[in-house]
């Protein structure tokens, strides 16, 4: 039952029909004046109605596709962190496994947080091999486990490993809470940029068998995490050579505005601009070279225009290889699941798709910046 898909149209239709049947039964109990039956059937009808409404929202975002995701049951193979440091072949990980890796916030002050790390089967069978690493940046609202539940990251890792492109997937925590939108910047109370750069990457390099060079690091994110991947990747080009931005914006978009994000400071305008790819992307130097995959649903009102603008701007810069994929769908996991698989196959050496590069129109650039101001 755990593998039951609960966001399909037939499941939703069946749930809705059960709710209707329960309400009909409740009405019949009222007519017969059976109070105990009214209470029981009425409670069932309310529960089924709420479940139907919740699952409709869930289906819209494709957030929890299967019953085990809703129940919090792990649908991916797991291993002990001890298995990751054994200097001999370890059996029983044919699809790879996910471990929990403690990342101390020694430099950032963010505290010790748990990252969810997928290790490919080759990691266990080839104890001397080293692997490229992908840093998966969750959105907001969001937590690291979203990559494994809604985005099926472990299945994507196993698929890549089966095609001879094994990779380590690291999903770190990027905020204190599910609703906390850090934008992956250093702000009062949360130094997330420092946490990623100075704590997460050095810990992964030291604890796991990764290829510790920029050519084998990939920053990937969805929604607010897409902005994280893009902004951090462009700001730290010496650390990472490939960026995958799925439905990210081209500027920080904290609900409380930039003062709430960065705090009251004299250099606020400068700090905001330094974290706004829409502003600085057109002035980036050619070196070191970068590869950028931009992916977005065509119905995504939040990031569609930003994706096209970034594709045009970065695609016109020397030293940048830009791929842009505009696919059916909106701002949801129905877009991000296939985007993750396709982008990582491209990043790890699969035949590249033909890039779509829109020409840069200076007048359009001005209009874009005017239409999408950064709120103070």
The residues that bridge with 51 in the sheet, in sequence order, are none
Architecture per CATH, 75-371: 3-Layer(aba) Sandwich (3.40)
Q: CB under 8 Å to 325, separation ≥6 — which residues? A: 293, 294, 295, 296, 339, 342, 343, 353, 356
Give the separation between CA 176 and CA 12, rounded to whole angstroms. 34
In contact, 172 and 233? CB cutoff 8 Å: no
Residue 275's Cβ-side half-sphere holds a number of Cα atoms within 13 Å equal to 24
pLDDT at 171: 98
pLDDT at 348: 95
**Which helix (H) or strand (E) covers residue 269, if one does?**
helix 268-274
pLDDT tens per residue across span 188-216: 989 999 999 999 999 999 999 999 999 99
Neighbours of 124 (CB within 10 A): 21
The residues that bridge with 101 in the sheet, in sequence order, are 115
- Per-position b or e across 270-279, b if 16+ CB within 10 A of its CB: ebbeebbbbe
**Which helix (H) or strand (E) covers residue 211, if one does?**
none
Residue matched to tokens 């590869």: 291
Give the separation between CA 161 and CA 153, rounded to whole angstroms. 12
- Per-position b or e across 71-91, b if 16+ CB within 10 A of its CB: eeeebbbebeeebbeeeeebe
The residues that bridge with 116 in the sheet, in sequence order, are 100, 171
**pTM for the full predicted model:** 0.85
Residue matched to tokens 């695609």: 315
pLDDT at 36: 81
* Token reading at 230: 């893009």
Give the separation between CA 326 and CA 36, rounded to whole angstroms. 55
Alpha-carbon Rg for the chain, nearest whole angstrom, is 23
pLDDT at 374: 57
pLDDT at 29: 78
Nearest to 253 by CA among 271, 230, 276, 236: 276
pLDDT tens per residue across span 229-282: 999 999 999 999 999 999 999 999 988 899 999 999 999 999 999 999 999 999
Give the separation between CA 346 and CA 344, rounded to whole angstroms. 5
Question: Cα angle at 348 between 344 and 352, to 5 degrees?
Answer: 80
pLDDT at 28: 80
335 three-class SS: helix
In contact, 243 and 219? CB cutoff 8 Å: yes
Nearest to 221 by CA among 312, 110, 303, 276: 303
Cα of first residue to Cα of last residue in the chain, in angstroms, is 49
pLDDT at 66: 63
> In degrees rounded to 5, what are phi and psi of residue 114?
-95, 125
For the chain, residues with pLDDT lower than 50 are: 1-2, 351-360, 362-363, 365-367, 369
Nearest to 250 by CA among 376, 366, 346, 373: 373
367 three-class SS: helix
Residue matched to tokens 């569609």: 304
Give the separation between CA 157 and CA 166, rounded to whole angstroms. 7
pLDDT at 343: 97
Q: CB under 8 Å to 8, separation ≥6 — which residues? A: none
Give the separation between CA 243 and CA 234, rounded to whole angstroms. 8
């Amino acid at each position: 039952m755990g593998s039951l898909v609960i966001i399909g149209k037939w499941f939703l239709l069946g749930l809705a029909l059960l709710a209707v049947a329960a309400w009909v039964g409740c009405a019949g109990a009222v007519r017969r004046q059976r109070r105990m039956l009214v209470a029981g059937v009425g409670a069932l009808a309310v529960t089924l109605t709420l479940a139907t409404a919740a699952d409709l929202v869930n289906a819209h975002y494709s957030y929890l596709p299967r019953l085990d995701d809703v129940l919090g049951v792990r649908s991916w193979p797991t291993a002990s962190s001890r298995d990751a440091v054994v200097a001999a072949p370890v059996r029983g990980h044919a699809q790879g496994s996910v471990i929990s890796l403690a990342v101390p916030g020694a430099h950032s002050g963010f505290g010790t947080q748990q990252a969810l790390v997928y290790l490919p089967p080759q990691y266990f069978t080839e104890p001397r091999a080293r692997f490229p690493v992908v840093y998966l940046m969750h959105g907001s609202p969001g937590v690291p486990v979203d990559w494994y539940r809604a985005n099926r990251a472990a299945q994507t890792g196993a698929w890549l490993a089966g095609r001879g492109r094994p990779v380590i997937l690291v999903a770190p925590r990027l905020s204190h809470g599910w609703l906390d939108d850090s934008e992956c910047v250093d702000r009062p109370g949360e130094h997330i940029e420092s946490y990623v750069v100075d704590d997460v990457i050095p810990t992964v390099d030291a604890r796991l068998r990764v290829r510790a060079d920029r050519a084998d690091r990939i920053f990937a994110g969805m929604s607010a995490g897409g902005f994280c991947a893009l902004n951090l990747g462009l700001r730290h080009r010496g650390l990472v050579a490939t960026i995958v931005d799925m439905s990210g914006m081209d500027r920080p978009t904290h609900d409380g505005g930039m003062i709430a994000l960065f705090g009251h400071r004299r250099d606020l305008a400068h700090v905001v601009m330094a974290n706004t790819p829409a502003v600085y992307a057109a002035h980036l130097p050619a070196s070191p070279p970068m590869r950028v995959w931009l992916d977005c649903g065509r119905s995504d009102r939040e990031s569609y225009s930003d994706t096209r603008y970034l594709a045009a701007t970065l695609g016109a810069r020397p030293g940048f290889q830009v791929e842009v994929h505009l696919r059916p769908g909106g701002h949801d996991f129905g877009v991000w699941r296939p985007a993750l698989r396709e982008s990582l196959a491209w990043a790890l050496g699969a035949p590249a798709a033909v890039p779509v590069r829109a020409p840069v129109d200076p007048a359009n650039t001005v209009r874009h910046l005017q239409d999408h101001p950064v709120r103070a």
